[in-house]
Amino acid sequence: MNLTLKFSRSLLAAALTVALSSVASAEPPAKGVYASLPSETPEHFKPAHDAFDYEARDVMIPMRDGAKLHTVILVPRHAKNAGILLTRTPYNATEMTSAVESGHLGVAVSHDDDASDVLIQDGYIRVAQDVRGKYGSEGDYVMNRPLHGPLNPTPVDDSTDAYDTIDWLVKHVPESNGRVAILGISYDGFEPLMAIIHPHPALKAAVPMNPMVDGWMGDDWFHHGAFRQQNLEYIYEQTASRKNTLKWWSNYADDYQFFLEGVSAGAVAKAYGMEQLGFWNKVAQHPAYDAFWRDQAVDKVLGNEPVSVPTMLVASLWDQEDIYGAMAVYHAMKPHDTDQRLFLAVGPWFHGQEVGDGSSLGAVRFGSDTSLYFRQHILRPFLAHYLKDAPDVPAPVNAFVTGQNVWTTSKAWPETNDASSTLAIRPDAGGKLQLGAVAESGSDSFVSDPSHPVPYRPRPVGPMAGKGWQHWLTDDQRAAATRPDVLTYTSAVLTEPLRISGPPQVHLVASTSGTDSDWVVKLIDVYPDQVAEQPEMGGYELGIAMDIFRGRYRTGFDKPAALTAGAALPYDFSLPNANHVFLPGHRVMVQIQSSWFPLYDRNPQRFVPNIFFATPADFQPATQQVFRGGDATVITLPVVKG
């Protein structure tokens, strides 16, 4: 009995000891003490890429001021005496050149690449580099960093960074032949333009595609002074963090409603804390075309430089982001092209579509893959000529004619230089257009109400990066034609082809009951009521050249001034370049309106010093009057005869 009791007590004590031990072991370890079971993840893992058909090298290239720029170099296996294709980008060089699911170079460069098929076909070495201050590169990021000078007192800029990068590459990539071409789209297209200013001797070719050139006059930030407020999202994400980790957010499904309730671009920016962002502050402080914009406009800079590097500018006829830049640079450089080193390719594309599928754009079909043609028959021989000594070189100008859907070649752009070969479109009474005839005098009016602005796309309007953004310039304009605040003029049915090549010129004579106003002019191709081969195009109203002008800059882009209420005043500006045939059976249309929202911020229609900071009380309806007849409103078309 006593032995049994003693044994039972021993078992109880043992059980308590085990239980207490379990409780103790459940307590967290002291700070800095970790479990002793070894990790199955090595501290440094070296991938085995022997089966890859290329070698990837990740390097930091030193610049002259000591900053090192992150650079990815992809060298095809067995490469020897190969040319280098360089792209400098603010959009992540690693992502541009990585493909974890494949060891093939073609797959690695297929994501966000500028000419992957040409790269593979001709065995080039691919190099992508993060620009200063972005992603893996050291230094400070400045949006489109200006050249050394009044806007940039430092000794470095994108020109010097390109020079130093090329210098390092030709010395440290033994598989190369010492020849480099630089190419890219948009911001990446801005970089080749910087590289050809005081270029490195090894830079043998440059291909700026849809480049950012003049952000105020007609590229990303403004068009003739009207601010592209939907770009606030881009400014936010691009400048708030080094690796674009901070993302724009919205509680709205419709940007139209979002910006309408936001009142002004400045108020929206403040709500997002954007006063912390250096570039936004510069934009807000420089609403006019002052020295800040003029001194960094790349076309003006290149207008004073020799054409020392063979350069192919690539322009898109329906570029929804940078429709101005490539053509502006071409016209600035052409007078100095004494050795015929300047080339131009013009295609029927949205922004950057030349490196994708170019068979169609929105509802518009082109009968062939125009982008593939560009890459194989224009870009490829251009690069091969200057990087590989291939004998053929493309024509100075290759341009796709929309409507007729054919490629043409010429020595210069536009094809016609005869000022007399134009037709004047004169708004006539009854909503008709008279081609080359004197219209009867008169006027037409509408009420522009900032509380009900004209949308530039059918609602709901998605963000710039959303669905439909790429092809909004080719969207059917019939929705606008039905609004009472849009004047619409249409010609008779054409009986013979009408071809235009170049920028249509607007001479608008109009008055407003306010003291400021925007004017939107749209040149449109109206399809026949029935199109047998594509029924959905019946009656389609296709925008050919459309743009906006902010009235306060009527007498000078650097001199904003109030308009005289009720006075008939002239407004002169260019529409974007077109290369189009209005076919027989089609009609020519012109639409005139005073808002294009929410892509462009609303004009209060009452003069205020800075529209960015307009208050709700500043916005007022205005009666707009467009005058016709005599020397009044005329839109001159750059007609190509024959």
Cβ neighbours of 355 (radius 10 Å): 23
The larger pLDDT score, comparing residue 438 to residue 477, is at 477
Which domains are delineated in the chain? Answer: 54-217+292-410 (3.40.50.1820), 222-291 (1.10.3020.10), 422-638 (2.60.120.260)
User: What is the model's pLDDT at position 22?
Assistant: 47
Residue with tokens 């007729």: 404
232: exposed, middle or buried (Cβ count in 10 Å: 0-12, 13-18, 19+):
buried
Q: What is the mean pLDDT of residues 256-267?
A: 98
Distance CA(363)–CA(278), nearest Å, equals 40
Q: Is the peptide bond before 460 cis (omega within 30 degrees of 0)?
A: yes
| Mean model confidence pLDDT for the chain | 92
Q: What is the mean pLDDT of residues 379-400?
A: 97
**Pick from 158, 144, 268, 150: nearest CA to 216:** 144
The larger pLDDT score, comparing residue 626 to residue 423, is at 626
Distance CA(344)–CA(346), nearest Å, equals 7
Tens digit of pLDDT for each residue in 189-201? Answer: 999 999 999 999 9
**Confidence category of residue 7, pLDDT binned at 50, 70, 90:** very low
**Pick from 344, 386, 407, 373: nearest CA to 199:** 386
pLDDT for 438 beyond 80: no
**For 184, phi and psi rounded to 5 degrees?**
170, 170
- Please enumerate in sequence order all residues whose Cβ is within 8 A of that of 231, keeping only pairs 6 or more positions apart, or say none: 220, 221, 464
Which residues pair with residue 445 across a beta bridge?
625
What percentage of the chain has pLDDT greater than the value 90?
83
Q: Of the given ranges (34-38, 182-186, 468-472), which has the lowest mean pLDDT? A: 34-38
**Confidence category of residue 341, pLDDT binned at 50, 70, 90:** very high
Q: What is the mean pLDDT of residues 391-399?
A: 96
**Confidence category of residue 107, pLDDT binned at 50, 70, 90:** confident
Distance CA(433)–CA(454), nearest Å, equals 23
pLDDT for 5 beyond 90: no
CA dihedral 226, 227, 229, 232 (to 10 degrees): 170
**Pick from 122, 142, 124: nearest CA to 132:** 142
Q: What is the mean pLDDT of residues 611-615?
A: 98
pLDDT for 69 beyond 90: yes
Distance CA(80)–CA(441), nearest Å, equals 72
Residue 353 DSSP symbol? G
User: What is the model's pLDDT at position 15?
Assistant: 44
- Under a CB-based contact definition with an 8 Å cutoff, are residues 570 and 509 in contact? yes
pLDDT for 604 beyond 90: yes
Alpha helices in 85-215 (DSSP H): 93-96, 105-108, 116-121, 158-172, 187-195
pLDDT for 31 beyond 90: no
Distance CA(470)–CA(462), nearest Å, equals 11
Distance CA(413)–CA(415), nearest Å, equals 5
